[in-house]
Structure 1
C-alpha cells in the first residue's frame, strides 16, 4: 500500500459503473443488471433472468492515483449436472485502456442446473476480496471488467488513494443486442468477447445486450434499447429464434418490424445495423429445437444437435438460411425510408472457411480464437472506413 495516501472506501454507485441498466441493492452490496427492473418484471423465463444478471460488458470505471485496489465480490457460479466443471469467471483490470491485471474469485454462490430435468437450485456461499497491487503510481483511468458469464454482486471498493468518476465515456456509445455468442459464450475473458474486442478496435464505448439464449425479439428488450442512450446500434438475430423453435415465418416478419420500429422511436437517425447469424451448420437448413447431446460427456464435451426436420420449412419453420433471406429483404424494404439502416450477413464474420479452421466445439458456440476473428472482422466491416457504424 502506498504509505503517502489514505486508505479509502468508495461505494459502488451508478457513476462508477458502465454497461449496466440498473444496480439492484442487495445484502452484499449491488447487483448489476443489463435489463432495467421494469423489463425484468415482464419476464417469466429463468434463462433470461440468469443471463441478464451476468455482467457481459459491465465494468467499473474510475480515476485514481492508487497503486492498490480491492473489490469485494460475491459471484454466482454455474454447475451443470453431468458436465465438467466450468472455469471461474475472470475479472480484468485495465490501466488507461491497457490490460494490466487478471483475477478470479473463490467461494460464492453455486447455481446447479439440470438441463435434462429443467431445474435449477442455488446454494449460498461466501464472498471474496479481489486485490490488485503494484499499479502505476500516478493518476490514471482504471476499468475493472466483470466476468461476462458469472453473476457478480459488488461490495466495497477500497483504494490507497481517492477515487473519482471518469467524466463521460469520451467516445461514441455502441449499443449491441444478440445471443450467447454476443454475450461471450466461450470467450477467454470479459475483454475478449467479440463485442468487447470490436469495441476496442473501433474506438467506441460498449453497452452489451448480448443475452445468452434470449435474442428472441422480446418487446421489453426493444424498449430497453429504445430508452438506452446510444450513438450506434446493432442487433444480431437468428440463432436463438431457430434453436428455441420459438416462432414461424408468419410471426417472425412482423416481430422484426416491431422490434426495429421500437428502437427507432428512441433513436430515429442513429446508424442501425441488422446482423444475421454466423455460420452454424446444424441449423443452416434444419429447424429447431436444439437439444443437448450428452453422448461425449465422458470426454468432457456437451454437444448440441438440431431436432427439427428440414421438410418442415414448407410449413413456415425457421432455419438460419430462411432468416437471413428474410432479414435482408426486410432491411431492403425499410431502407427505402430509413437511410441509416443497414444489413450484414453474419457469415462474413464467421463462414465456411472459418468453420473448417476453427470449428464450433459444441456445434453451436465459437471458441476463444473464433471470438477474436469475429471481433476483428466486425470492427473492420462495421467500424472501419466506410462501414455503417464508422464513428
Structure 2
C-alpha cells in the first residue's frame, strides 16, 4: 500500500506535535514542520553562557532529541512518520570516531519503534525520502503464512517511536492505513540529568539507551537531559520544575572531569550547588545520584591535573544532607569489561546499556513501597515456590527480618545486617540484586542454580549444604523407655538463668548483643529440669528455626535431646507456628531424630549457607546466629536408640545457625 503522506489511500493521520512525549516544547519550522526540544529557552541560554565549560558543544547536544518519543494507538497495519534529520553535530562525530574503524563513519543512530512491546529495530530515511515506514502487525500472529489483516480491520496497536539520540530532527505528521491514529495520555516522568552516557552514546539505537530502557521498565515517560561533555553546572535547571512532573530523578554526571585540568575547590562547589538546587526544586521526589561508571584508564588516560578521583567523595559529601537523595556506586552498576563499551573504554554499548538500566531498576525497586508492602508482595511471589523456600516463606509469615527485594523472579530478605536469604528463578536478576546489596558476609541460598553466582559476585568461598526439616503436624509419640529415677520438667527459663545459659552454651560467641536476654524475656528459651536441676535447654534462632539445643555432658544419654526438641515443637505449635529446623547433612543422628519426631527432611543439595572462608582460629557466623543442632554439645545416644548429636561440629559448622 502507498504510505506516502498525502496519498489518496491514506486513511488516518495525526500531527506529530500532538503525539510527542518527553519534549518540553516545540518550535514551528514552517509548512507544518515542528522541532521538538528537550530544554527550555532559559536552559538553552544557561548552556550557552560563559558559565558552561563548552557552550558551543552543549548547544549542539541540546538540539538532539534523546529520549523524545511519539506514542499513539492505531488500528493501522502500517504507519509512516514524516521526518527530516539534522546533520550530524561535530561533537557527535568526535566521540564516534573512537568507535568506527579508521576511515569509516557510521551513524550509530536513527528512529526506533516499539509495537505492543515488540521492538522493530532501527530505521532511517533513505536517500531523499522524508519519511520512515513501520509495519505494525506481528507476522507470527498472522492467520496463515503470507496472510495479513486488511488495513483498519486488525487489532489496535500501541506504538512508541523513539527519535534520534545523537542528532536533532523535524517532524510533521504520522499517517496510517487504518481508521485512526490517537495520542496516548502523558505519564509522570523519569528525569535523567547527565552527560553523553545518558544522552545515548553509543547504544546504536535510541530504544537501547539505558534511560529509555529504564523508563520503559518503570512505565514512565522519559525526559532525557543528557548532554555530551556536560559536568555539574549550577543554573541549568532553571525553569525545569514548571515543565516536568518527575516520579524519580537520576543524575549521571562527573565522568568528564577526567579529561581536563580542574581544581577540587571549584568542582566541589559546583557539585554542592547543583545538588542543592536539585533538592530545593524536588524536595519530595526520590533522586538517585550515580558516581562515575568504570572506565578503562589505560585505554584512555585521564588528564594528569584532573581531580576526577575525588568526584565520588564530593558526591558522597553533598548527597548526604538531602534525605531524598541516594548515592549509587557507579562501579557496581556496570561490569568492569571493555566488551561492554562501544569505544572500548568509557561509553556503554547496547549490552552495557541494558546492564546499566537493569541494575538501576533493581536498586530502585529495593525502595518500592513501604516495609509491609514489600513483605506482602514477597509472600505473593512465593506462592507455589519450591519447598526449599519454606524458611523464607515462614520468616515472611512471622514478620521476621526486612524484605530487601521482592519482584517477579527474585526475593531477598535480611535477618540481621550482613546476612541475606535469597531465592530466585531468574539468575540474571538475582545476580544484580546481590551486586546492589552492601556488606554481605553470609548468604542463605535457597536456589541451587545461584550458588556459583553468589560465590563469584560476593567473593564468598565456603559453601555449606544444609537439610531443612519441617514439622508436618504434632510430633510422633515418644517411644517407651526406662522411667527416670527423678521427676522431669520442661519449662520456659527466665532472666535469672542468663548467666548459667551463657556459661553452659557451647557457642556464646554466636549470640549477638541482647539476643539471649530477648529470648528469656519472651519465654522462648526452654529448660529441662530433672529433680529441680537444670540439665539443658533449647531455643530459637532469629529466623524462627529451632536451635540452641544444649544438653549438659553429665546428663547426656538419657533422652533429653528428644525431650527438649519435642517440647519446643509443642511450644511453637501452641503459638500457631509451624516448627522447623536445619541440620548439617553430616549429622545423621540428628536427621534420624527429626524423622522420628515426624519432621519432613529435605535433601541438603537444595539449600546452603555461603560465607567467606574463615582464617585460622577464626569463628565465622552471622550476628544473631545460634549454634544449631550440629554445633551444640547435644547428648550421647541413649540406650534403646535414643538420640542425638554425637558428631563433632563439621568444618563448616561456624557458618550459620544450624542443627
TM-score, length-normalised on structure 1?
A: 0.76
Q: Is the 8 A contact 1:67 1:134 kept in 2?
A: yes
Q: Deviations over 1:328-366 (max 9, x none)?
A: 12222x1xxx32211111111125xx2265356342322
Partner of 1:194: 210
1:364 equivalenced with 2:352 (yes/no): no
CA distance in 2, matches of 1:359, 1:57: 21
Say if 1:388 and 1:52 are closer, same or farther in 2 by CA, change over 3 A: farther
2:263 is matched with: 248
Structure of higher CA gyration radius: 2
- How far residue 386 of structure 1 moved from its aligned partner, in angstroms, is 2.9
SS in structure 2 at match of 1:256: helix
Cα displacement (A) at 1:104: 1.4
- Equivalent position of 1:65 in the other structure: 75
1:110 counterpart residue number:
none
**What do residues 231-259 of structure 1 show as CA deviations (whole Å, max 9, x unaligned)?**
111211211233244x4221222222221
Shift of 1:7: 1.9
Aligned residues: 334
Aligned to 1:75: 85
Q: CA deviation at 1:145?
A: 0.8
Could you say which structure has the higher strand fraction? 1
1:280 and 1:140 map into 2 onto residues whose CA distance is 41
Offset of 1:85 from its aligned partner?
1.0
Corresponding residue of 2:295: 280
Closer/same/farther in 2, CA of residues 21 and 304 from structure 1, 3 Å limit: farther
Name structure 2 gaps, 5 residues minimum.
Answer: 4-8, 49-54, 95-101, 139-153, 371-404, 408-659
Q: Distance in 2 between matches of 1:345 and 1:100?
A: 33
* Structure 1 residue aligned with 2:362: 380
Q: CA separation of 1:388/1:368 partners in 2, compared to 1, >3 Å: closer, same or farther?
A: farther
Query: For the structure 1 residues 185 and 387, does the alpha-carbon distance in structure 2 shift closer, same or farther, using more than 3 Å as the test?
Result: farther
SS at match of 1:198: helix
Q: Residues 375, 259 of structure 1: CA spacing in aligned structure 2 closer, same or farther, 3 A cutoff?
A: same
* Distance in 2 of aligned mates of 1:188 and 1:6: 32
Distance in 1 separating the partners of 2:311 and 2:205? 30
- Whether the 8 Å CA contact 2:186–2:221 is kept in 1: the answer is no
Cα distance in 2 for residues equivalent to 1:151 and 1:388: 38
Q: Give the CA deviation at 1:269.
A: 0.9
Q: CA deviation at 1:188?
A: 2.7
Could you list the runs of 5+ residues in structure 1 that have no partner in the other structure? 108-125, 284-302
User: 2:11 maps to which residue?
Assistant: 7
Specify the SS of the correspondent of 1:263. Answer: helix
Instruction: Quote the residue 1:25 is aligned against.
Output: 28
Which of 79, 90, 102 matches 2:110?
Answer: 90
Greater relative contact order (Cα < 8 A, sep 6+): 1
Q: Secondary structure at the match of 2:47?
A: coil
What is the DSSP-based 3-state SS (H/G/I as helix, E as strand, rest coil) of the residue aligned with 2:173?
strand
Provide Cα deviations, 1:361-383, integer angstroms capped at 9, x if missing partner.
Answer: 3423222221122122111122x
Q: Is the 8 A contact 2:82 2:172 kept in 1?
A: yes
Q: Are 1:43 and 2:50 matched, yes or no?
A: no
CA distance in structure 1 between the aligned counterparts of 2:131 and 2:41, rounded to whole angstroms: 28
How many angstroms apart in 1 are the aligned matches of 2:300 and 2:29? 36
Maintained 8 Å contact 1:91/1:102:
yes
What displacement does 1:260 show? 2.0
Q: Residue 329 of structure 1 aligns with which residue?
A: 317
| Residue 253 to residue 88, structure 1, CA distance change in 2 (3 Å) | closer
Aligned to 2:165: 148
The structure-2 alpha-carbon separation of the partners of 1:18 and 1:244, relative to structure 1 and needing over 3 Å to count, comes to farther
Q: Deviations over 1:61-102 (max 9, x none)?
A: 112222221111111242748752123632122123332454
Q: Does 1:104 align with 2:104?
A: no
